[in-house]
Amino acid sequence: MNLYDVYPLFDIHPEKAKGCFVFDETGKEYLDFYGGHAVISIGHSHPHYVERIVSQLGKIGFYSNSIINPLQQQLAQKLEDVSGHSNYDLFLVNSGAEAIENALKLASFYNERRHILALTNSFHGRTSAAINISHSGAKHQAPINQGIEVTYCQMDKVEALQRELASEKYAAIIIEAIQGIGGLDEISDDALRAIRKSCDDSDTFLIMDEIQCGYGRSGKFFGFDRSGIRPDLVTLAKGMGNGFPIGGVLIDPQKMPAVTGRLGTTFGGNHLACAAGLAVLEVMDHENLIANAHQKGNELSHFLGSLEGVKQVKGRGLMLGVEFDFPVSNLRNKLVFEHNLFTGSSANPNLLRILPPLTVHEKEVDLFMEKFTSGLKIYLSSLHISAS
Ligand SMILES: Cc1ncc(COP(=O)(O)O)c(C=O)c1O
C-alpha cells in the first residue's frame, strides 16, 4: 500500500531528537527552530515528559469518556494555575481542527446563528467548518466544505469589524492574536478590546484561536493576554502536548453551560494524553518557560532585525517571522541542507517562521545566530552573483 501523497517532503529521516536538536539515521544533527509546525514546546524528549508518559502507560493508557478520569480534572486545574485564567470549563479533544469545530458548534448552539466573522490571512484547520472559515486555506476547500456563511475582514479595519458585528448576524468572530500560517501579523490590543465590546453589544461569541500562538509561545501564556480581554471560547492544541495529539477548548460556562451529550469524542482527554498535557504544564511552570520565551524572543528579534537583507521582523516571544523582499523557499532549503537548521515557511512567500522550543538555551540561540548569519550571507551573495 502506498501513502497518500499530500505532503511536500524534505528528504530527511529523523530517528532521534533531544531538546532543540533532531538527529537523522546517520547521526547528523539539525538545530530545530521550527518544532514541527510550532508543536515542540518543552523540547524534544524532555526527561520529565518521557517519564510521565511511560509511567502512565504502565498504569492505564486509555479508557473512554464514559468513566471518571481524574487526570482530566488535574489537567484543567494545572492549566488554570499556569495560565492564570479561571472560571472556564475545559473540553478535551485530539487536534487543533477538532477544537475549532467544537468552538464554532458551541457558539452556534448558544445564539442559534450560523454566520462566522473571520480575518483575512487566518488559518484554523483542515476539517469541515475549520477549513471553510480559513482565509489562507481557501484553495483546499471542497464543495462540501462551503456550507458556512463566512465574512472576512482585515484585522486593522476595526470600524468595519465593529459594523459587521453590529449586524447581529454572526454566531462568532474568530481571531488568532498572532497569525501563524498566515504570516505573523498581529491584531492590536485596542482592536481586541473594541471587538470584545462589540461582541458584548451584539450577543456574538469571541473565539480566540490560540492553537499556535498560545501556551507560552508569545512570551505570555496566551497571545491575547496583553490586551486584558476575556474571550468566550479559547482553542488550544500544538504546544499543549509537545507532540502528543491533544487539543482543548476553554469555554465560559456562564454563557455556555454544559448540556450532557452535546459534545463528545472517543479519544479526547484519554489518560495518556492527559499525562502528556500535565507534563508540559509542569515543565513550563518549573522551568519558567514563559519568561524564557519572552527574553529569548527579544534577543532573537533584535538580532534578526539587525541583519542585512531583512525587511521586517514580525511576531513576539518565540513566534517570529523574518520578512525579506524575495521569496524564501531557496534560502530555507539551504538553511536545512547546508547549515542543518530547521525553520518554517508561511502563506507569505517572503517570510520565514522561527518557532524554537520554549526551553531554548543561550548556547542554542548563539548557534542559531551563527548558522542563520552565515546561511543568509552566502545566500545573499549568490543572489548578487546571479543578478550581475
Ligand atoms: C492557528 C491554528 N489553528 C488551527 C490549526 C489546526 O490545527 P491541527 O493541524 O492540529 O488540526 C492550526 C494548524 O496549523 C493553526 O495554526
Distance 100 CA to ligand 1 centre (A): 9
- In angstroms, rounded to a whole number, what is the distance separating the alpha carbons of residues 281 and 45? 15
To test ligand 1's pocket by mutation, which of 104, 178, 212, 242 has the most ligand atoms within 8 angstroms of CB? 212
Task: Give pLDDT tens digits for 33-89.
Answer: 999 999 999 999 999 999 999 999 999 999 999 999 999 999 999 999 999 999 999
In this structure, the chain runs to a length of 388
Q: Give the N- to C-terminal CA distance of the chain in Å, as an integer.
A: 49
136 in contact with ligand 1, CB cutoff 6 A: no
- In angstroms, rounded to a whole number, what is the distance separating the alpha carbons of residues 368 and 277? 28
pLDDT score, position 383: 85
Distance 23 CA to ligand 1 centre (A): 26
180 in contact with ligand 1, CB cutoff 6 A: yes
**338: part of which helix (H) or strand (E)?**
helix 329-339
Residue 380: CB atoms within 10 A of its CB come to 16
- In angstroms, rounded to a whole number, what is the distance separating the alpha carbons of residues 247 and 100? 10
Nearest CA to ligand 1 atom 8: 96
Sign of the four-CA dihedral 210, 39, 359, 379 = negative
Task: Give pLDDT tens digits for 129-185.
Answer: 999 999 997 888 999 988 899 999 999 999 999 999 999 999 999 999 999 999 999
115-119 β-sheet, strand order: 89-93, 247-251, 233-236, 205-209, 170-175, 115-119, 149-153
Distance 275 CA to ligand 1 centre (A): 22
Angle between helices 289-305 and 362-387 (to 10 degrees): 30
What is the assigned CATH class of domain 47-286? alpha beta
pLDDT score, position 265: 98
Sorted by where each begins, the domain ranges of the chain are: 14-46+288-387, 47-286
- In angstroms, rounded to a whole number, what is the distance separating the alpha carbons of residues 298 and 193? 25
pLDDT score, position 146: 86
207 in contact with ligand 1, CB cutoff 6 A: no
Do residues 355 and 319 make contact, with C-beta atoms less than 8 angstroms apart? yes
- Domain at 14-46+288-387: CATH code: 3.90.1150.10
- The β-bridge partners of 31 are 21, 341
137 in contact with ligand 1, CB cutoff 6 A: no
Helix and strand element counts for the chain (H, E) = 11, 14
Distance 151 CA to ligand 1 centre (A): 20
* Residue segments in the chain with a per-residue pLDDT below the cut of 70: 385-388
